Chain A
Amino acid sequence: MSAGVLEVRDVQKSFGAVTAAKDISVSVPKGAIYSLIGSNGAGKTTFVNMVTGYIKPDSGEINFGSRNIAGLAPRLITRLGIHRSFQIAQLCNELTVEENMLLAGAIHHDERLSFFRHAHSADARERAMATLERFHIAEHRNRLIPELSGGVKKLLDIAMAMAGETQVMLLDEPTSGVAADEKFPIMDLVIEALRAEGVTVIFVEHDMEIVTRYSERVLAFYDGQIIADDTPDEVLLDEKVQRYVTGGPA
């Protein structure tokens, strides 16, 4: 394997008797778009959690550039340029959509004057609005989070993760909790925005149509292991994938 931007080597993770990651090795080239498939409990979220620092692997290496980031705190990994979204959108419910976006901007802003610089300055709001517009959610800017639809929450979650200098973006089930007719528009928007900035993307997805349409390579998880790592067409034809993941020929 040639050196990718993200190199995962022999990563293991157990929770008591459950092995959530077994000999996981992956190499993701810069700018690639990968998808992770697998039934519930296969270890997809665990993979995302290990790469982003929420869970420390028991052993193995996660190399980002020249650095082994396995076990670093989420905030440090974020600072290095690996960002993520969540299976259940993580937003601040007492803040408006715009304030959530301002928050993301504020954290990525230069820290030195941060006790003085107004969080709602014209500058900051302009930047926040630009991102909200890019994700087509600017019209909701003054609403509080609990009033939003699932799709808007997901988009905001991803938009916030894009506020920094994102090099790798991991999206955990970006279309779960989203109305069926919103799934493709949302993926179109998100993938286009990420591709435009040359971001390397890894997304978890259950819908095989979305997987084939948006990813160039698929990692199929089963029981904490990667059972297939290939192009979408090849993976969907794989016998083990059909047996354990898709439940029959696609």
Chain B
Amino acid sequence: MRYILFLYAAIAFVVLAAGSIILPDWAMFLFAMALAKGLVCLGIVAMMRGGVVSFGQGLYYCIGAYTATLAANLWGVSDIFALTLFSSVVCLIVGMIFGPMLATYRGIFFAMLTLALSMVLYGTLSKMSVIGGSDGLNIGSPTFLGWAPEGRDLQTALYIYVVAIVVITGTLMRIYFDSEQGLITLATRDNELRVEYLGASVRKVMAYNYTFAAVLGGLGGTIAVVALGHVDPEFAFWTTSGEFVFVAILAGYMSVPAVFVAAIILEVVRSFSNLYFPNTWQLSLGIFLLIVIVTLPNGLGSLLSRRKGGKT
């Protein structure tokens, strides 16, 4: 059945990449940002499948973004592949440190601890004037294996790069979700006692998901900073993390594409509401989320998944 997945992935890539031909610049930027944030949200979804929600994924979004920026500014690295790899590895290491520590917490404790970690980073970065303090840092345009595009070419190249990363990681995460470990994760959210008594370590399951989410957060942060050209401590602020959770809940835990659809919906609603109702866009988002929760308790993804659903 795997080749069907690869076929879907290829179709998704072609369809999304075609956007680079049709979309105007502003829309391409909006999609790139939405997809980058979608990666972070996919990490939250990975944790949600195990029954926990992180309210501090901004931590890794921010670490990824700062790592890429510092690598570019201090060592002159501009190659986007190198930047991506470097910041994912940093996030992987940080995730492997905090993952096992947080893996014994559940529910509100897990949510608050992850939130606290991200706010510690926010506070620290805001005070560190060597790296820009609360103003943050700028990063130059990326190069692609020696190619240094400009203008529309740069936009297009960056957009295609995001699409490729999204399709590859999305496919990998689908493989993981469908795997034996993926099933163990779903069972953990349901009945930890059963899982332990079958001989699996619930703590390990939680630590793995947290670590994967850290890497996804780093990927999202790297792409976002390269697209924006700027990073500041707001990347780790709780409202940023809150948006990621919003998207994850909107998408639900069943479908990978739903996460990116939800992320795009959020960005689109935000830009249009900003344009037409500048002060009430959170209100429209809130109402939208309410409607989704009431009508589709398992999120948008339940429309895209054939899985027989349980309750939450």
Give me the interface of A with B, judged by CB distance under 8 Å. Answer: 52, 73-75, 78-79, 83-84, 90-96, 99-100, 102-104, 106-109, 114-120, 124, 142, 144, 160-161, 163-164
Contact = CB atoms under 8 A, between A and B. Distances in A.
Contacts of A92: 186-187, 190-191, 194
Contact of B311 (A83, A94, A104): A94
Given A74-B197, A84-B197, A95-B183, 6 more contacts: A78-B198, A94-B190, A103-B198, A109-B180, A119-B180, A160-B194
Interface in B181-199: 181-184, 186-187, 189-191, 193-199
Contact of A102 (B183, B196, B308): B183
Interface in B276-312: 308-311
Contact of B175 (A78, A100, A116): A116
Contact of A119 (B178, B191, B310): B178
A108 B197 CA distance: 11
Q: Is the interface of B mostly helix, strand, loop or mixed?
A: helix
Contacts of B191: 90-93
B197 A117 contact: no
A120 B190 CA distance: 19
B147 to A, nearest CB: 34
Residue of A90, A144, A164 ringed by the most chain B CB atoms within 10 A: A90
A106 B197 contact: no
Contacts, number: 102
A205 to B, nearest CB: 20
Contacts of A160: 194, 198
A190 to B, nearest CB: 17
Contacts of B178: 118-120
A96 B190 CA distance: 12
Interface of B: 1-2, 175-176, 178-184, 186-187, 189-191, 193-201, 308-311
A120 B309 CA distance: 17
Given A93-B191, A95-B186, A103-B184, A118 B1 contact: yes
22 contacts: A75-B197, A75-B200, A78-B199, A84-B197, A92-B191, A93-B191, A94-B311, A95-B183, A99-B183, A102-B183, A103-B184, A106-B180, A106-B183, A107-B199, A114-B179, A115-B180, A115-B182, A118-B1, A118-B178, A118-B179, A119-B179, A161-B197
A114 B181 contact: yes
